[in-house]
Amino acid sequence: MRILGIETSCDETGIAIYDDKLGLLSHELYSQVKLHADYGGVVPELASRDHVRKIIPLIKKALVDADTSHEQLDGVAFTQGPGLAGALLVGSSVGRSLAYAWNIPAVGVHHMEGHLLAPMLDDPAPEFPFVALLVSGGHTMLVRVDGIGRYEMLGESLDDAAGEAFDKTAKLLGLDYPGGPLLAKLAEQGVPGRFVFPRPMTDRPGLDFSFSGLKTFAANTIRDQGDDLQTKADIACAFQTAVVETLQIKCRRAMEQTGLNRLVIAGGVSANQSLRQALQAMMQKNGGQVYYPRLEFCTDNGAMIAYAGMQRLKAGQHEGLSAKAKPRWPLESLEPV
């Protein structure tokens, strides 16, 4: 089976061709970072318009790079939600229209399920069951995964997600958009221990997250301590350490609660090297294994959508002619495969 995958949930247009026997044949990614940088964040209307401009040329290029014609495709997978409504409508309408024109089935994919399954694109792939830490954009969640579509929510962000807190704190530090990776780079120059930030919601039971207070703590520290470069680096270091240790503590609790010894971390923040090192050390100490997507598949991409869509198309799932975008879509509501 050979699938075209389309990702347009936010500010990146991702296209991929995936074959269940040959693996990933091609993938294209266009980022709108420069478009939104002047505004300090994603402007939904501009994002939608840019998807419209880029999606068809990227699909054509992916097909050429994969040496594939549309007659060789067995299905189209597109991100149906969650995400920005306008951006989702671009991918869902183009994906569903192409599938209709080519007389092949189309399937809508949950964006977070795509991230969750992204490590499956590489060897060795994690075996079910496992615990997944999903840290992508406005989402931070811990999920028990017993199979595709068999998800139990263990904990999630109650306000700001980790990625949002990274970006907002970076903005407070005067860093450009997107700020998360720049904050992580600045933190490398910081002196550990000069500032100590709280580890939110780790002093009580449970697996939910809250990072808005940590962002406020960072804002107050920045206001009180001045804005020289070394102080900014030290604050960035303290902030990142607090986020990483909070996620580490919650992951340890999740592993103990479920009794599982496999951990998957996926989503944009999973590219953070400090987080990877901390979770790797934790799992090695406890005799477990941690899995990550390769760096190019941590952020939004078409490959993860093609892979997730293939699993659902193989199970006989597909969309009708009136496929709709789902800006809000609970992960645990998905049907099992």
What's the pLDDT score for residue 17? 98
Find residue 143's DSSP bridge partners. 132, 153
DSSP 8-state assignment for residue 72: G
Say if residue 322's pLDDT is above 90. no
Q: Report the predicted TM-score, pTM, of the whole model to 2 decimal places.
A: 0.96
For the segment 279-307, the average pLDDT, to the nearest whole number, is 96
What's the pLDDT score for residue 227? 80
For the segment 207-229, the average pLDDT, to the nearest whole number, is 94
pLDDT band at residue 279, thresholds of 50, 70 and 90? very high
What's the pLDDT score for residue 323? 77
Residues of the chain with pLDDT > 90, as a percent, come to 96
Say if residue 160's pLDDT is above 90. yes
* pLDDT tens readout for residues 88-116: 999 999 999 999 999 999 999 999 999 99
* Alpha-helical regions (H) of 28-79: 33-37, 44-65
- In whole angstroms, what is the distance from residue 337 CA to residue 248 CA? 30
Say if residue 31's pLDDT is above 80. yes
What's the pLDDT score for residue 238? 98
Q: Which of 301, 247, 235 is nearest to 274 (CA)?
A: 247
Those residues whose C-beta lies under 8 Å from the C-beta of residue 181, and which sit 6 or more positions away, are 271
What's the pLDDT score for residue 137? 78
Those residues whose C-beta lies under 8 Å from the C-beta of residue 76, and which sit 6 or more positions away, are 3, 4, 6, 95, 96, 98, 99, 102, 104, 105, 106, 107, 309
- In whole angstroms, what is the distance from residue 109 CA to residue 96 CA? 12
Residues of the chain with pLDDT > 70, as a percent, come to 100
For the segment 263-272, the average pLDDT, to the nearest whole number, is 96
* pLDDT tens readout for residues 124-149: 999 999 999 999 878 999 999 999 99
What's the pLDDT score for residue 138? 87
* Alpha-helical regions (H) of 259-331: 273-285, 302-314
Asked whether the beta carbons of 292 and 265 are under 8 A apart, the reply is yes
What's the pLDDT score for residue 219? 96
Both structure tokens of 52: 């419209």
Burial of 153 (0-12, 13-18, 19+ CB in 10 A): middle
Distance, C-alpha 15 to centroid of its chain: 16
* pLDDT tens readout for residues 36-84: 998 989 999 999 999 999 999 999 999 999 999 999 999 999 999 999 9
**Directed axis angle between helix 229-258 and helix 179-187, to 10°?**
100
Binding-site residues for substrate, in ranges, read 134-138, 167, 180, 272
Both structure tokens of 182: 């720049």
pLDDT band at residue 226, thresholds of 50, 70 and 90? confident
Binding-site residues, in ranges, read 111, 115, 134-138, 167, 180, 272, 300
Burial of 113 (0-12, 13-18, 19+ CB in 10 A): buried
For the segment 16-40, the average pLDDT, to the nearest whole number, is 96
Binding-site residues for Fe cation, in ranges, read 111, 115, 300
- In whole angstroms, what is the distance from residue 47 CA to residue 30 CA? 11
